[in-house]
Amino acid sequence: MFHVENMTVKYQSHVAIKDVDFTVKPKDFTAIIGPNGSGKTTLIKAMLGLLSISKGSVERKGSPRIGYLPQQTAASDRFFPATVGEIVALGLLADKRFPKTIGRHDKKRIAETLDALGISALRKKRIGALSGGQHQRVLLARALVSEPDILILDEPTSALDPSMRKAFLDILKELNEKRNVAILLVTHDIASAGAYIKRVLHIDQTVLYDGAYKAYLRQPVRSPFEAPHADGEDDET
């Protein structure tokens, strides 16, 4: 679905990521991990075309539909004067030509998405009146309403308590297993995500590990973000 080859991204003279090779396949559920400043957000923004690439290439295979949930806190839209239904509708407007309007089919799709995430009752509520867990489900609905083939999420559970975090990850697992949505999940909380993910991409400017999650756990690491030794890599790498 995505093929990243030899990609380097710079901010002026600072190298954010260097010589990254990475492929996203259908049905992947991949956690992108690494310490602060390691280039995780830079990687996904470059893949989405939101940042310029200094070297290398990003190729989209088969024009996959993409849902994107950027990094933010639950309070970031606190004063934004829009309802839940209006926020979710924004996920349909990007692919529309002018004039960009929401039709009958769109309204049905919005209702189905809200229902699938268990937030139909929130449709007319203001986004700023929601709890952290409700807020993240609304943003996930906005990303899902266009029926993406791949969902890219940047630290979506960072503002959630443990029970909300589990509920959110349960939703992602269902999307991956029942709807075959490929998922890229940027996270610092690999312990919570471990029961859900299939693959780990560990980066710190460049790729330190890319392979099966279970194989990653077998590596003799000394800290959560230390690179495993290459000689223990799984054949799925």
What pLDDT, in 10s, does the model give residues 23-59? 999 999 999 999 999 999 999 999 999 999 999 999 9
Residues 208 and 16: their CA atoms lie apart, in Å, by 15
The pLDDT score that the predictor gives to residue 72 is: 66
| pLDDT tens digit sequence for 179-197 | 899 999 999 888 888 889 9
The conformation of residue 229, written as its DSSP 8-state character, comes to P
pLDDT at residue 28, as a whole number = 94
| DSSP-derived secondary structure for 90-107 | HHHHTTPPSS----HHHH
CA distance 175 to 56: 31
Kindly report, residue by residue over 72-103, the tens digit of the pLDDT: 644 455 667 889 999 999 888 877 767 677 78
Strand partners, 44: none
Q: How far apart are CA 26 and CA 39, in angstroms?
A: 24
**Residue 78: what pLDDT?**
63
- Give the 3-state secondary structure of residue 79: coil
Using 50, 70 and 90 to split pLDDT, how confident is the model at 2?
Answer: very high
Q: What is the pLDDT of residue 220?
A: 62
Residues contacting residue 212 through CB under 8 Å, at least 6 positions apart? 198, 199, 200, 234, 236, 237
Q: What is the pLDDT of residue 8?
A: 96
Say if residue 106's pLDDT is above 60: yes
Q: Would you report the helix, strand and coil content of the chain in percent, each value rounded to 5?
A: 35, 25, 40
The pairing of strands 14-24 and 182-186 is unpaired
Interval 9-26: pLDDT, tens = 999 889 999 999 999 999
Phi, psi angles (nearest 5°) of residue 108: -65, -40
User: How far, in Å, CA of 141 to CA of 84, rounded?
Assistant: 9
pLDDT of residue 76: 53
Q: Tens of pLDDT along 140-176?
A: 899 889 889 999 999 888 777 788 788 888 889 999 9
What is the model's pLDDT at position 93?
Answer: 80
Q: Could you give the 3-state DSSP secondary structure of residue 66?
A: strand
Domains and CATH numbers, the chain: 1-64+149-156+180-237 (3.40.50.300)
At residue 104, does pLDDT exceed 90?
Answer: no
**pLDDT tens-digit series, residues 193-230:** 888 999 999 999 999 999 999 899 887 654 444 545 44
Q: What is the pLDDT of residue 221?
A: 52
